[in-house]
Amino acid sequence: MKSPRIGLLKIRLRGEYSMEPSKSRAPGQTSAILQHTPNGVLLVDKRTRIRFVNPAFLTMFQCADEKLSGRLAKEFVHSDCFERAIAAGGSLMVKESIPEHGVSFRVGIFPIEGEALYCGIFIDISEEEKARKDLLDLRAQTLKRAHEVISRQMETAQEIARLLGETTAETKVLLMKLISLYQEESQ
Asked whether residue 16 is assigned to any structural domain, the reply reads yes
Based on the fold, state whether residues 46 and 112 are members of the same structural domain. Answer: yes
Same domain for 97 and 168, yes or no, is: no
| pTM attached to this predicted model | 0.66
Check which CATH number belongs to the domain holding 93 and give it: 3.30.450.20
Q: 131 and 50 in one domain? A: no
Q: What is the pLDDT along the chain (187 residues), one digit of tens a residue?
A: 343 333 344 433 334 444 443 444 555 677 788 888 999 999 999 999 999 999 999 999 888 778 888 999 999 898 899 999 999 888 899 999 988 888 999 999 999 988 889 999 999 999 999 999 999 999 999 999 999 999 999 999 999 999 888 889 889 888 898 888 888 887 7
> Are 77 and 134 members of one domain?
no
Question: Is residue 55 within 8 Å of 39, Cβ to Cβ?
Answer: no
Whether 65 and 11 have beta carbons less than 8 Å apart is answered as no
Using DSSP's 3-state secondary structure scheme, residue 162 falls into helix
Range of the domain at 26: 12-124
Same domain for 139 and 182, yes or no, is: yes
Residue 89, classed as helix, strand or coil, is: coil
